[in-house]
Structure 1
Amino acid sequence: MRPPQRTVVYKVGDEVEVIGKEEGFYTSYYEATVVSLLPFGRYEVQYKTLIVDEETKIPLKEAVLAKDLRPVPPLVNTRGEYKLYQAVNTFDNDGWWYGMIVGRISCTGGKGYNVYFSSTNETLPYNCSRIRVHHEFFDAEWQQID
């Protein structure tokens, strides 16, 4: 029998990421702040980049389960250098998306990479400023995926 996984208890004000749970968003994470603790292990979060509507620009708030949250991943200083087939996250459409480096490109403002997304079978170009090293949060610890 496997031992139970450790869990993280978040506090009001903690910076977190919320996993995308809708079809087409399964490999995405959205930055948020815990704004209140709710019954039954749930949290109310306020998103940093998702809004209620375009007209008001009010940040979206949502009740989420603890299992759908993770702390903000550690920042790894890559100096804009990534390896071929390295697992990464790219910032696009208001969130961080899981992908894999498949090639280097030159782009406006510096280096860039082509990133393959298996969820959509697409390869898209990204400037290094929109790429970070991918980590998995397992058993209350960060693990870098190479």
Structure 2
Amino acid sequence: MRVFRVGDKVEVCSTEEGFVGSYYEATIVSILKDGSYKVRYKNLVEEEDDSKLLVEKASADEVRPMPPRIQGKGTRFYSYLDKVDAFDNDGWWVGIVTGIDGFKYSVYFESSRDEIAYPVSRLRRHLEWSSDGWVFT
């Protein structure tokens, strides 16, 4: 398991119902004695004061490094049935490309059974983090 340092940019996987499998950008604020981390989210704010970024504890198995940005090739960035992450509701959600209309891609999300069109700027290749590094799935 990778150990992060204070100040590292990471992504935190949500385990909350309705958000399971989504990832949120954060920065490591501190390392706790139990091996977990205190993180400050980039886009999530506190419920009681939306002018303050949310800071919370995240277990080590919920934290991964920021994935590399992979550029598309040619005029098409993604193909039919490619697994992608779509940026929506302040986080990255895993889905499958089900349609292409110019530079808009329809993405199907198995968890919610929704299909939503996104511009290419809100998509990235889906990668999984393992002890060996980043893996295409």
Q: Under TM normalisation by the shorter chain, which class is it?
A: over 0.9
- 3-state SS of paired residue (1:57): coil
Deviating above 4 A after TM superposition, structure 1's stretches of 4 or more consecutive aligned residues are none
Moved more, 119-128 or 48-57: 48-57
1:137 partner SS: strand
List alignment gaps of at least 5 residues for structure 1: 1-6
- Corresponding residue for 1:32? 26
Match of 2:38 among 44, 47, 66: 44
| Residue 132 (structure 1) shift | 0.2
Residue aligning to 1:129: 121
Q: Deviations over 1:2-28 (max 9, x none)?
A: xxxxx1000001000000101111120
In structure 2, runs of 5+ residues without a counterpart are none
Residue type of the partner of 1:141?
Answer: G
Indicate the SS of the match to 1:67: helix
Alpha-carbon RMSD across the aligned residues, in angstroms, is: 1.3
Task: Render the CA deviation track for 1:36-76: whole Å, top value 9, x for unaligned.
Answer: 11111111000000001375420000011100000001110
1:105 aligns with 2:97: no
CA distance in 2, matches of 1:100, 1:16: 24
* 1:8–1:140 CA contact under 8 A, matched in 2: no
Work out whether residues 85 and 92 of structure 2, in 8 Å CA contact, stay in contact via their aligned partners in 1. Answer: yes
Q: TM-score, normalised by structure 1?
A: 0.88
Aligned residue pair count: 135
Normalising by structure 2, we get a TM-score of 0.94
Percent same amino acid among aligned pairs? 42
In structure 2, the partner of 1:85 is 81
Q: SS state of the match for residue 16, structure 2?
A: coil
- Which whole-Å CA distance do the structure 1 matches of 2:15 and 2:55 have between them? 15
